[in-house]
Every structure is written in structure tokens, then in C-alpha cells.
Amino acid sequence: MPRATTERFSRAHQPAPKKNVNQASSSMTNPIFNTQRFGQHILKNPATAQKIVDAANLKPTDKVLEVGPGTGNLTVKILEKAKHVTAVEMDPRMAAEVIKRVQGTPEQRKLEVIIGDFVKADMPYFDVCISNTPYQISSPLVFRLLSHRPLFRVAILMFQREFALRLVARPSTALWSRLSANVQLYAKVDNIINVSRNDFRPPPQVESSVVRLVPIDPPPPVKFEEFDGMNRIIFSRPNKTIRGNFQAKGVMKMLEQNRRTWLAAQEMMNDDASIASLLDKVLEEVECTETRASKMDVDDLLKLLAAFHDVGIHFS
């Protein structure tokens, strides 16, 4: 029989559901499970579920991590092709439904269900991740996957369409952002399937998309906190010049403190160089004085970060 283990619940990242007794609930809630409680929408279209599973190109030897299985509509299709599935589900009632669906079948030995919050749960080894992602954990899920070692082969992830489009956005487009750059530093991302809101029960208020995420192997030798720290500054106003964003309140003071800490760690004397002069020197060297983050690709950002490090400017 499939095993079900329980992780400690944590709903800190989830907004409290809003109730309106004047609205009819038939179009907004699942008649069997209170899906609003966990921000879930059950994928009901079997053709769409099959497309998602097919996109993973599963092998008979694959171990699959599924996040948010709901009632198991994707799970049963994954089990037909994979060696083993670990499903992480927040709602105990849905977890019980997934287990019930495979009882008495050959697939029951291939399934383990973890009841709890994916953001907090321990992740097993897996080759492939497939997720009908609860929208409120979209960003934490992506970065938790990308930080996982050993690297997985591919992830097929369903998100709110706007979030998915930000993941795959390119420089000089309206949706290119800190999120886009941070994800594309570590993975190749493609939008592969658009999913109608009518494919879910209850239907969400927005359309959805499925993305394919393939980790870059080996990952770049860059400390994420440094890359993200720089991007946090220069993408704060992506259409403003990079130098202009560094003039924001508190930024120079933070960089000065970071540099003193770095010099001390290297057992180097403080050279009294001003952060403003070092910043101007770096931007001139990499020809970014008038550049805007909205126009810079990942390679441009890595070049800029390396130049900052060369003069002892750090972001974490």
C-alpha cells in the first residue's frame, strides 16, 4: 500500500481565503474538497493531463516528484510510465484520495505520498518534477527546485500564465525582470502548453501555462545571493539607468559596509576608496554607464557582477 508521511504544516506564505456568503459557491469551490483553503484548482481535462505527462518524456527508470497532486488525475498517468512517484500534497483529504485511486493496482507500490508543505518538506532524489503548482508557492517552488542537488533532468510545471511568461521573458521585452534573469541563470525555460481556465475545477480567475525547465549542468559557479543581490538593486526600476538605481536610499551605505566586511575577511587594509568612485569605474569599464537592466541579458549581468567583485564590491 502507498505510504503517507506527514510533514509539519506551515501556511505562512498562504493568504487567508476570503469568504463571501452572497456569492454562489458552485463555480468557485470544489464540491468534494475545499480547494480554496490551499489555493488549489483540480485539473479535470484528461487530454491536458496527458499532454503534461508526455512533455516530461518519462523513462521506465525515472523517479518523479509531483507537487500538488490534488485528487491524482496527473498522478495516475505518471505512474503508468515512471518507476516511482513521490507526491507532496498539503490537504490530507486529497492525499487520501490519491492513495485510494491506486489501491489494489500494480501502481500502489510505486507511490509515496507526503502530506505537508512542499516549501518545508524534505525532498527525495528525483529525475523529473511535475507540478500543477498552487499559485502562491510558484516562486518558492522554482528556486527550491533549482537549488536542489543532485540536479534533476527536467521539470514540467504549471503556473499562472503571467508568472510563466515572466519566467521565459527575454531582455528588451516588457516582462524581463529580476525573476527572469535569476531563473535563466540556472535553467533553460520554455513555455510549452497554454491551459484554459475551464480545464480546472473550480476554474481559476486567470489562464495557466505549462513550462519546461531544464537545469544548466554544470550550474554556473556564481553565488546566487550575489547575483540576486545585484539584480535586486538594478531591477528595482528596470528602465532607469543602472547608475541611477545605485543612488537609491541606503544602497551606497550597504555596499560600503559589505566592502569593509570583505576587506576584513581578506585581511586587507581599508583603502578608503569611495563606493561612488568604484561604481563609476566599474560602469565605465563594462560600458554600462547609461545601460538599463531591462536591456541586459544574463551574460551582461554576469560580466557586471564580475567587474564589481574585481574592485571588492559585494552584494550579500
- Which has the minimum average pLDDT: 32-41, 245-254, 301-310? 32-41
> How many CB atoms sit inside 10 A of residue 183's CB?
23
- pLDDT band, residue 273 (cuts 50/70/90): confident
Within 13 Å, how many C-alpha atoms sit on residue 139's CB side?
Answer: 10
More confident site: 41 or 252: 252
Identify whether 46 is preceded by a cis peptide bond (ω within 30 of 0): no
Number of DSSP helices (H) and strands (E) in the chain, helices first: 11, 10
Per-residue model confidence (pLDDT) at position 271: 75
- pLDDT band, residue 41 (cuts 50/70/90): confident
DSSP state, 241?
B
Per-residue model confidence (pLDDT) at position 40: 65
More confident site: 19 or 103: 103
Handedness of CA 300, 302, 306, 309 (dihedral sign): positive
Task: Please say whether the beta carbons of 148 and 39 come within 8 A.
Answer: no
Per-residue model confidence (pLDDT) at position 269: 74
Per-residue model confidence (pLDDT) at position 26: 35
Task: Report how far apart, in Å, the C-alpha atoms of 172 and of each of 143, 168, 239 are.
Answer: 24, 13, 10
User: pLDDT digits over 98-136, tens only?
Assistant: 999 999 999 999 999 999 999 999 999 999 999 999 888
Per-residue model confidence (pLDDT) at position 54: 98
Per-residue model confidence (pLDDT) at position 135: 85
- pLDDT band, residue 19 (cuts 50/70/90): very low
Question: How is residue 159 written as a grid cell?
Answer: 503556473
Name the residue among 304, 290, 316, 297 with its Cα closest to residue 182: 297
Per-residue model confidence (pLDDT) at position 2: 45
DSSP state, 294?
G
More confident site: 202 or 27: 202
User: pLDDT digits over 136-147, tens only?
Assistant: 899 999 999 999
Q: 168-182 burial string, b = 16+ CB within 10 Å, else e? A: bbebeeeebbbbbbb
Per-residue model confidence (pLDDT) at position 291: 95
Give binding residues for S-adenosyl-L-methionine as ranges. Answer: 41, 43, 68, 89, 117, 132
Give binding residues as ranges. Answer: 41, 43, 68, 89, 117, 132
Name the residue among 274, 42, 46 with its Cα closest to residue 312: 274
More confident site: 265 or 38: 265
Task: Report how far apart, in Å, the C-alpha atoms of 123 and of each of 10, 147, 234, 307 are.
Answer: 16, 11, 33, 36
Report the predicted TM-score, pTM, of the whole model to 2 decimal places.
Answer: 0.85
Q: What is the mean pLDDT of the chain?
A: 88
Per-residue model confidence (pLDDT) at position 13: 35
In angstroms, how far is CA 62 from the centroid of its own chain?
Answer: 22
What gap in Å lies between CA 11 and CA 140, rounded to an integer? 13
Question: How is residue 187 written as a grid cell?
Answer: 535553467
Q: What percent of the chain has pLDDT over 90?
A: 80
